[in-house]
Copies of this chain bind each other. A is one copy, B any other.
Amino acid sequence: MLDAAKEISKTLGEDSISFDEDVIEHHGRSDWSTANTAERPVAVVYPKTTDEVSAIAKICDKYAVPMVPFGAGSSVEGNFSSPYSGICIDFVHMDKIVAFHPEDMDVVVQPGVNWMDLNKEIAHAGLFVPLDPSPTAMVGGMVSTNCSGTNAMRYGTMKDWVVNLTVVLADGSVIKTRRRPRKTSAGYNLTTFFVGAEGTLGIITEVTLKLAPIPQDTSVAVVSFPSIRDAASAASSIMRSGIQLAAVELMDDLQMQVLNKHGSAAVRKRKWDEDPTLFLKFSGTTDAIKSDIKRVSQIIKSHNAGEFHFAKTKQDELDLWAGRKESLFTMVATKPENTILWTTDVAVPLSRMAELIDLSKADGAKLGIFASVVGHVGDGNFHLAMFYNPDDAKQKAAVAKVVHDMTNRALEMEGTVSGEHAIGIGKKDCLVDELGHDAIDFMRTLKKAADPKWLLNPGKIFNVPGKD
């Protein structure tokens, strides 16, 4: 491995590679994740171009050394860990907008571009990338985990916004999956083949993204319900009505308590009801939003809804939505001493979500720990977050069982073990439960064809043959 690193250093220049222990440690594990390994990469390399990534891959292929792509490091399932050591490829220097085509409503970027920076850069043209993952996320990681977020209900997930990818294959050869049409049915869909593959099939070095017009107007409304089931069934009725909201988000009673106690000044301007609450984001033309708000407020009446608060000013709107946006960080700020966070997500058919949330929250509550739910209700996708003491083996096992039971129930309900965080090393066993050995074997057949030496981010999604 060190021979490979040395050859990379010789080829790309000494400045392009780091053997620093702190750097390696930072690239090897995550505080946000419960899925960490003991192994670390031998070096971190910083390419600037597709050609340099290709050169790295050729050297790694020659020495049979694992290659692990690294973006912002914000993924939570150990997606960028290095269980077989190898070379970590950090895309921080590949952060350029290559070409912006406002008339075609697309943009070509390198994988190290942060999505929020990108949206600021192109806002003048009235366009944006309508995803909403972690604020720190970079495009390459967003593609590789098929990320989404609160906007997914209206705009779909990352796979729906990728026009083409430039990919360095395992042997260092380079392909482009498409040219730049918004629509095509020409040949295999290699684009979505790489989206969500976590870098196990190829290394993404350039991405063309479809863009959406920034809506003329937006608005936000908040409404609480006596139970999670009422809230979820209200959300379902809204979806069935055909009213196209930008987002329908659910926060449970615990999350609302956290807002009242620890929210930012803007959030604590109001006293929030400490009940299960829906956050609704409207977007479109100003007239359409008015009409949508009226219709939604009628629909939810039959679901025991409380008072319907909708933003009357732009400041109102920001303050209301801040309640939803701050939830993760506010919650982390309340973390009890000596505990860490276990956060995970599942997605199930819409009709089953309320039941699953109820059961999972009850299981968490039985442990006497903080166990809370935030949900992308429009997608049947929700996150469970729990604080536990990692040194308390019994508590850790109990928390693991809550997660295990939740994923098992999600599968019984025909759901998925990962709605938007991918598999990494954290959910490999669950994926076998989800899809069965034959489907996993077929994935491995494709993996082996694309990467015969099994060097691309090995040990993610499924085990390396003969190991684990």
Which residues of B sit under 8 angstroms from A178, Cβ to Cβ? 416, 435
A445 smallest CB distance to B (angstroms): 5
Which residues of B sit under 8 angstroms from A159, Cβ to Cβ? 189, 192
- Select from chain B the residue with minimum beta-carbon distance to A381: B183
Cα of A380 to Cα of B163 in the assembled complex, Å: 13
A residues apposed to B, CB below 8 Å: 101-106, 126-127, 145-148, 152, 156-157, 159-160, 169, 173-190, 192-193, 195-197, 201, 212-216, 236, 239-244, 284-285, 287-288, 290-292, 295, 347-352, 376, 379-381, 411, 414-423, 427, 430-431, 434-436, 438-440, 442-443, 445-446, 448-450, 461-462
Cα of A431 to Cα of B179 in the assembled complex, Å: 11
Which residues of B sit under 8 angstroms from A147, Cβ to Cβ? 185
Cα of A1 to Cα of B451 in the assembled complex, Å: 35
Cα of A186 to Cα of B178 in the assembled complex, Å: 24
Given A104-B351, A182-B349, A192-B192, 17 more A-B residue pairs with CB atoms under 8 Å apart are: A103-B351, A146-B185, A147-B185, A148-B183, A159-B192, A179-B435, A181-B380, A183-B347, A183-B380, A183-B420, A184-B419, A185-B196, A186-B423, A213-B241, A285-B288, A442-B450, A449-B449
Would you list the 5 A-B pairs with minimal beta carbon distance, nearest first?
Answer: A449-B449, A213-B242, A287-B291, A103-B351, A104-B349
> Across the interface, do B190 and A443 meet the contact criterion of CB distance under 8 Å?
yes
The CB with the most chain B CB atoms within 10 A, among A180, A187, A197, A445, is that of A187
> Across the interface, do B291 and A295 meet the contact criterion of CB distance under 8 Å?
no
> Across the interface, do B439 and A445 meet the contact criterion of CB distance under 8 Å?
no
The CB with the most chain B CB atoms within 10 A, among A104, A181, A446, is that of A181
Which residues of B sit under 8 angstroms from A352, Cβ to Cβ? 104
Which residues of B sit under 8 angstroms from A442, Cβ to Cβ? 169, 175, 190, 450
A258 smallest CB distance to B (angstroms): 26
> Across the interface, do B351 and A186 meet the contact criterion of CB distance under 8 Å?
no
A175 smallest CB distance to B (angstroms): 4
Interface residue from B213, B236, B291 paired with A240 (Cβ < 8 Å)? B213
Cα of A356 to Cα of B301 in the assembled complex, Å: 53
> Across the interface, do A434 and B188 meet the contact criterion of CB distance under 8 Å?
no
Interface residue from B176, B183, B288, B415 paired with A287 (Cβ < 8 Å)? B288
Cα of A133 to Cα of B107 in the assembled complex, Å: 29
